[in-house]
């Protein structure tokens, strides 16, 4: 079993990424007791609005009832099991089965059974045939759900990661809205591969995303041939929690300076308009400002399969005079099988920003990190598919486990860091991936 240290797992056996029997174990031990993101309250605004999503291995209809409550109902008729809802979104008061016509109200109750009085036994228990419903909680519009009645409350489950999610959301000053339905794409490779990448992989940027750097997305070619914004350094901080959640934050500071040299009286929020910085700072606590100020990129994982990215880009993805603009994308990595993953992408924009800024933010996300993004997804998915292909064809025992030791003994503790969790300073580190797999290993236990 993993030790108490939050990032104690440094290797993972290869079959964990390709073997359907491992996924079967994960369904029960990793996904069932966890909270997963189904979507956003803004996708089901009105009574009857529904979206069809996946929770664990089950498909669910996420629907707002006439009473205003959002439920996640199992998308399978309780008569013979027919898939009830075939559209991916819509509005309906009832779900009617296409086989024999059983009808369920949008709160899951079995409302209509053809020939109920004449053909069913008099003691037929209608309530016992209501649709099973998962627990759903809307947290700042994020719809999290779990099938597990014994799972801790969402807030307890999130634990220390909630502080970081709130800091990123408060930095946009107030409410956020989701831009349309999510983009969706099926990618080759196990769900953990893109997820551990989001946990904290700054290491692949220079190799995998070289073309993005060459296009100037993070600045220009400097005199020494490296890429960046002249006169600045990027300092990485990796924060992980015992729950397997993590954040990696990259800070732009002046050359040779540290995080502690930032002036708390003059916070900077890259990607937001400088004339709004004072207002954004006022919407946060002083501790949140110490986390968000000078932060160019923050990405991470809500264990097991929800990931997020808040990042500022500039002209390389817009027009030459587009200013540095930030976007926030939230994703869910849903296993289709051990070797295939469906990725859902939601872009969120703060309602406090003007319409032009919000449009640009959505555009920048769509052009870079979306399913069709020109700068990141193509590169990443190609690597993930190559990992899958090589792991799947290797004979058992041919090669050792995958390695996660980057940064071990090379990073420094970040004792003054304002947020909770275990924080380390180190631009190249697999601290967060180790914490992700530590939690995973703790739940999965010994593989047979």
What's the rounded Cα separation, in Å, for the pair 143 and 36?
8
Q: Are 199 and 300 in contact (CB under 8 A)?
A: yes
Cβ proximity to ligand FES, 84 vs 240, nearer residue: 84
What's the rounded Cα separation, in Å, for the pair 295 and 307?
18
Instruction: Find the part of the chain contacting ligand FES (CB under 6 A) among 51-59, 99-107, 203-211, 413-421.
Output: 99-107
Q: Which of residues 24-83 bind ligand FES (CB under 6 A)?
A: 77, 79-80, 82
Q: What is the nearest approach in angstroms of ligand FES to the Cβ of residue 74?
A: 13
Q: What is the nearest approach in angstroms of Fe ion to the Cβ of residue 217?
A: 12
Instruction: Find the part of the chain contacting ligand FES (CB under 6 A) among 27-35, 58-66, 97-105, 240-248.
Output: 97-105
Cβ proximity to ligand FES, 99 vs 124, nearer residue: 99
Beta bridge partners of 312: 326
Of the candidates 365, 246, 386, 362, the residue with the CA atom closest to the CA atom of residue 306: 246
Distance set, CA 107 to CA 37, 48, 72, 104, 149 (Å):
20, 9, 9, 8, 18
Applying CB under 5 A, which of residues 7, 19, 170, 380 lies at the interface with Fe ion?
380
Size of the site for ligand FES (CB under 6 A): 9
> Is 196 a binder of Fe ion (CB under 5 A)?
no
Applying CB under 6 A, which of residues 35, 40, 102, 191 lies at the interface with ligand FES?
102
Long-range contacts of 99-104 (CB under 8 A, 24+ apart): 102/77, 102/78, 102/129, 104/73, 104/130, 104/131
The residues, ordered by sequence, that sit 6+ positions from 19 with a Cβ below 8 Å of its Cβ are 338
Q: Are 167 and 284 in contact (CB under 8 A)?
A: yes
- Supply the Cα-derived Rg of the chain in whole angstroms: 23
Cβ proximity to ligand FES, 82 vs 383, nearer residue: 82
Residue indicated by tokens 């439920």: 71
Instruction: Find the part of the chain contacting ligand FES (CB under 6 A) among 100-108, 148-156, 217-225, 245-253.
Output: 100-108
Is residue 304 reached through a cis peptide bond, with omega within 30 degrees of 0 on the bond before it?
Answer: yes
- Binding at 170: pick from Fe ion, ligand FES, none (beta carbon under 5-8 Å per type): none
- Binding at 5: pick from ligand FES, Fe ion, none (beta carbon under 5-8 Å per type): none
| Strand-pair category, 340-350 with 183-188 | antiparallel
Q: What is the nearest approach in angstroms of ligand FES to the Cβ of residue 53?
A: 21
Q: Is 384 helix (H, G, I), strand (E, B) or coil?
A: helix
- Binding at 302: pick from ligand FES, Fe ion, none (beta carbon under 5-8 Å per type): none
Residue 204: phi, psi to the nearest 5?
-85, -10
Of the candidates 131, 130, 101, 128, the residue with the CA atom closest to the CA atom of residue 116: 101
Q: Which of residues 405-444 bind Fe ion (CB under 5 A)?
A: none
Q: What is the nearest approach in angstroms of ligand FES to the Cβ of residue 98?
A: 7
Interaction mask 329-368, Fe ion, x per CB under 5 A: ----------------------------------------
What's the rounded Cα separation, in Å, for the pair 196 and 430?
9
> Is 97 a binder of ligand FES (CB under 6 A)?
yes
- Binding at 380: pick from Fe ion, ligand FES, none (beta carbon under 5-8 Å per type): Fe ion
Q: What is the nearest approach in angstroms of Fe ion to the Cβ of residue 197?
A: 6
Instruction: Find the part of the chain contacting Fe ion (CB under 5 A) among 127-135, 286-294, 375-383, 422-430.
Output: 375-383
> Is 96 a binder of ligand FES (CB under 6 A)?
no
> Is 104 a binder of ligand FES (CB under 6 A)?
no
Write out the residues near ligand FES by the rule CB under 6 A: 77, 79-80, 82, 97, 99-102
């Amino acid at each position: 079993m993993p030790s108490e240290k939050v990032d104690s797992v440094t290797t993972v056996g290869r079959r964990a990424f390709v073997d359907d029997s491992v996924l079967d174990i994960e369904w029960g031990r990793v996904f069932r007791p966890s909270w997963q993101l189904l979507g956003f309250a803004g996708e089901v605004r009105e009574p009857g609005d529904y979206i069809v999503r996946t929770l664990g291995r089950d498909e669910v209809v996420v629907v707002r009832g006439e009473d205003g409550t959002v439920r996640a109902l199992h998308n399978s008729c309780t008569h013979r099991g027919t898939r009830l809802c075939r559209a991916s979104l819509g509005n309906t008061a009832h779900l009617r089965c296409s086989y024999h016509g059983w009808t369920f109200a949008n709160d899951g109750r079995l409302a209509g059974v053809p020939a109920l009085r004449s053909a069913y036994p008099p003691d037929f228990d209608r309530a016992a045939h209501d649709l099973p419903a998962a627990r759903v909680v809307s947290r700042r519009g994020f719809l999290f759900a779990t099938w597990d009645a014994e799972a801790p409350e969402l807030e307890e489950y999130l634990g220390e990661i909630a502080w970081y999610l709130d800091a990123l959301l408060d930095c946009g000053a107030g409410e956020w809205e989701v831009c349309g339905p999510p983009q969706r794409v099926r990618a080759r490779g196990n769900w953990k591969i893109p997820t551990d990448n989001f946990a904290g992989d700054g290491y692949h940027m220079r190799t995998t995303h070289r073309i993005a750097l060459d296009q100037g997305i993070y600045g220009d070619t400097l005199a020494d041939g490296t890429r960046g914004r002249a006169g600045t350094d990027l300092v990485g901080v990796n924060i992980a929690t015992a729950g397997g959640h993590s954040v990696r934050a990259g800070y732009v500071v002046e050359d040779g300076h540290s995080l502690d040299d930032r002036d708390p009286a003059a916070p900077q929020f890259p990607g937001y308009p400088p004339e709004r910085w004072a207002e954004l700072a006022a919407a946060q606590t002083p501790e949140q400002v110490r986390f968000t100020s000078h932060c160019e990129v923050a990405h991470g994982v809500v264990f097991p399969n929800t990931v997020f990215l808040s990042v500022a880009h500039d002209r390389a993805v817009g027009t030459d005079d587009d200013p540095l603009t930030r976007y926030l994308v939230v994703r869910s990595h849903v296993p289709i099988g051990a070797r295939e993953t469906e990725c859902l992408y939601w872009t969120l924009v703060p309602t406090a920003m003007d319409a032009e800024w919000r449009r640009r933010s959505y555009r920048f996300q769509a052009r870079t990190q979306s399913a069709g993004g020109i700068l990141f997804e193509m590169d990443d998915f190609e690597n993930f598919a190559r990992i899958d292909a090589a792991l799947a064809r290797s004979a058992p025992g041919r090669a050792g486990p995958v390695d996660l030791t980057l940064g071990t003994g090379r990073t420094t503790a970040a004792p003054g860091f304002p947020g909770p969790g275990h924080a380390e300073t180190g631009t190249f580190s697999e601290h967060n991936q180790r914490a992700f797999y530590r939690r995973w290993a703790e739940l999965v236990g010994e593989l047979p």
